[in-house]
Amino acid sequence: MPRGLILKGVGGFYTVECSTGIYECRTRGVFRKKGITPLVGDFVNFTITDEAAREGWIEEIETRQNFFIRPPVANVNQIAIVMAKISPEPDFLLVDKLLITAEKNGITPLIIINKIDLIDENELSEVESIYKGTGYLVVPISKVGKHGYDELHEKLKGFRTVFAGQSGVGKSTILNNIIDSWVMETGDMSKIQRGRHTTRHVQLLPLDNDGYVVDTPGFSSMSLEGIEYSELSSMYPEFNELEGQCKFNGCSHIKEPGCAVKDSVQSGEISLIRYECYQRLYEELKLQYENRYR
């Protein structure tokens, strides 16, 4: 039974890519009875009913590594978090929420600093320094001369990537440039039918480097549902580097004396912006926890 990846789903028909090409598949009634809806990004096993017409039936949906409701997509393994230094000013709290979501779901985060043509080198360095020590990849880009797009192309290689970030940072422009430059022409998923980023149905677009991008920007707002305040610090890689160096075991890095994280913030080794976001999120999650168990 062939194994494939769902690229698109419209009206009960699913475009499935496998090693031998593209098939249009329907689903068995058993999925409806079980309340299971296939998602773009699902890995499936299917039977071929008509090789000439490239048609088949989806028989099994493999266990998902993760899934999102908006956009409705499964098995994402990279989130490209788009931000800008100006126009608009960065929402660092949202960026941290997206990074935490990536950590929680085992997804590789990629930070894109867009519109660098509007700032100078010092301003760019200011933003880059915030994520120093996190281990996260940071790619500065601009639509002017497509600066940084070659590096972005390399970072998308082999990943199934969704783009996310606050409104106005240029996610759609980046996606349209990707679609125009690197998307493979695959069966009926042509540039004419895709248009310029106007499709109402989410698609996973195959790139020319074994990567895929979700063809619509992802979340512009984000909650931290399912994350407890007690585990929040583990979602900050630069905090983890100091594990065991605080005076008290289980240090929350909030009010305790002898905290290695707070010392590193004071010395400038850890970004004050990151730490302040951590404080806000910690208090928010702690309050949610206390309200739940009152």
For 12-26, write each residue's pLDDT tens digit.
999 999 999 999 999
Q: What is the pLDDT of residue 186?
A: 60
pLDDT in tens, 222-231: 778 889 999 9
Residue 256 belongs to some domain of the structure = yes
Residue 224 lies in a domain: no
Residue 115 amino acid letter? K
Supply the range of the domain harboring residue 7: 3-62
In a domain, 87, yes or no: yes
Q: Has residue 219 been placed in a domain?
A: no
Distance CA 85, CA 94 (A): 14
Q: What is the pLDDT of residues 71-129, one digit of tens each?
A: 899 999 999 999 999 999 999 999 999 999 999 999 999 999 999 999 999 999 999 99
Nearest to 94 by CA among 223, 236, 243: 223
Query: pTM here?
Result: 0.91
Domain assignment of residue 239, yes or no: yes
Contact 135, 108 (CB under 8 A): no
Same domain, 96 and 165: yes
Find out whether the peptide bond into 90 is cis, omega within 30 degrees of 0: no
Task: For residue 131, report the phi and psi dihedrals to the nearest 5 degrees.
Answer: -105, 10
Claim to verify: residue 79 and residue 207 sit in the same structural domain: yes
Query: What CATH number does the domain containing 271 carry?
Result: 1.10.40.50
DSSP string of 22-56?
EEEEEE-HHHHHTT----BT-EEEEEEEETTTTEE
The answer to whether position 107 is within a domain reads: yes
Claim to verify: residue 72 and residue 203 sit in the same structural domain? yes
Poorest-pLDDT segment among 10-24, 172-186, 193-207: 193-207
Boundary of a domain, candidates 154, 186, 214: 214
Kindly state whether residues 118 and 206 are assigned to the same domain. Answer: yes
Residues 179 and 142 in one domain: yes
Q: State whether 129 and 252 are in the same domain.
A: no
d(CA 35, CA 30): 9
Same domain, 130 and 203: yes
The domain that contains 21 carries what CATH number? 2.40.50.140
CB-CB contact of 7 with 186 (8 Å): yes
Please write the tens of the pLDDT for every residue from 37-73.
999 999 999 999 999 999 999 999 999 999 988 889 9
Q: Say whether both 148 and 167 belong to one domain.
A: yes
Reading the block at residue 262, the tokens are: 């707070």
In a domain, 222, yes or no: no
Clarify whether residues 112 and 147 are in a common domain. Answer: yes
Report if residue 192 sits inside a domain: yes
Is residue 50 domain-shared with residue 176, that is, in the same domain?
Answer: no
Total domain count, the chain: 3
Asked whether residue 140 falls in the same domain as residue 267, the answer is: no
Same domain as 189, residue 154: yes
Cβ–Cβ under 8 Å, residues 69 and 154 = no
